[in-house]
Amino acid sequence: MDFQNATALITGGSDGIGYAIAEALQKRGAKVTIMARNEDRLAKAAAEIGCDSFIGDVGDPASAKGAVDSVVGKHGKLDILVNNAGFGRFAPLVDLDPADFEAVHRTNVFGAFLMGQAAARQFVKQQSGELINISSTSGLNGGPGGTAYSSSKFALKGMTECWRAELRRSNVRVMLVNPSEVLTSFSKVAGYEQKKSPKKLRAQEISDAIMGALSVDGRGFIPEFAVFATNPFET
């Protein structure tokens, strides 16, 4: 695609992977809007990147519609939605708090659905668009303690496949990205300490992969891909 003057909306754009994607798109000439709930972090990130911002919760229907309407109202179109907002809670099944399970799914699944629906309506109207869902390798294989998070990412994969089947005839490319472990604030929010290592992925690698996928000519696309660290193992 032609990044110059493309319009993009990135959820969870105030840090981590969302921030890196927003920065990369902005540098390529796109008109970027980042969306997040924390007003202070959002304002700081938008100032650093030089992009627009929208304060909102993806799990709130009014916020989801409002974010898309804001971009379309300003630019007349929306070319790219990156569904990046998400978080995790981890506990064994017997100890998992139902409120945590519900909260994870409200953002990671219901929020992605609301944002995807609002963007898809615009994409169908303009007969073009790029819809990128940021999932996880935890959505490919479950593991101990991952009931809430992994199930949300499995659900996101299922929704992505449905949307892809529905939207291809409207010239919309729907892609699923499955990062392996990335050094971000994810672990802090999830309540555990992430072990630092120069061998682990940074948000930049995920952003680079997405820019590559978006650069494929519009006659084709990469439906799904994972990004792994080459050699994250301690020796």
Domain residues of the chain, as ranges?
7-227
pLDDT recorded at residue 235: 57
Residue 66: what pLDDT?
98
pLDDT tens column, 38-78:
999 999 999 999 999 999 999 999 999 999 999 999 999 99
Q: What is the CATH number of domain 7-227?
A: 3.40.50.720
pLDDT beyond 80 at 222: yes
Coil vs helix vs strand at 11 = strand
pLDDT band at 122 (very low <50, low <70, confident <90, very high): very high
For residue 41, what are the CA distances in angstroms to 63, 86, 153, 170, 218? Answer: 18, 16, 25, 36, 34
- Predicted TM-score (pTM) of the model is 0.95
Just list the catalytic residues. 149
What does the block give as tokens for 59?
A: 């799990």
Query: What would the pLDDT profile of 185-210 be if each residue is shown by its tens digit?
Result: 887 777 788 888 999 999 999 999 99
Dist CA 109 CA 104 (whole Å): 8
Give me the pLDDT at residue 193, please. 80
Instruction: State residue 153's pLDDT score.
Output: 98
Please give the order of strands across the beta sheet that includes 80-83. 52-55, 31-36, 7-11, 80-83, 129-134, 172-179, 224-227
Structure tokens given for 210 = 């997405």
The whole-number average pLDDT for the span 144-159 is 98
> Would you state the pLDDT for residue 188?
77
The whole-chain average pLDDT of the chain stands at 96
CA atoms within 13 A on the CB side of 168: 11
pLDDT digits over 2-45, tens only? 999 899 999 999 999 999 999 999 999 999 999 999 999 999 99
Whether the predicted pLDDT of 139 surpasses 80: yes
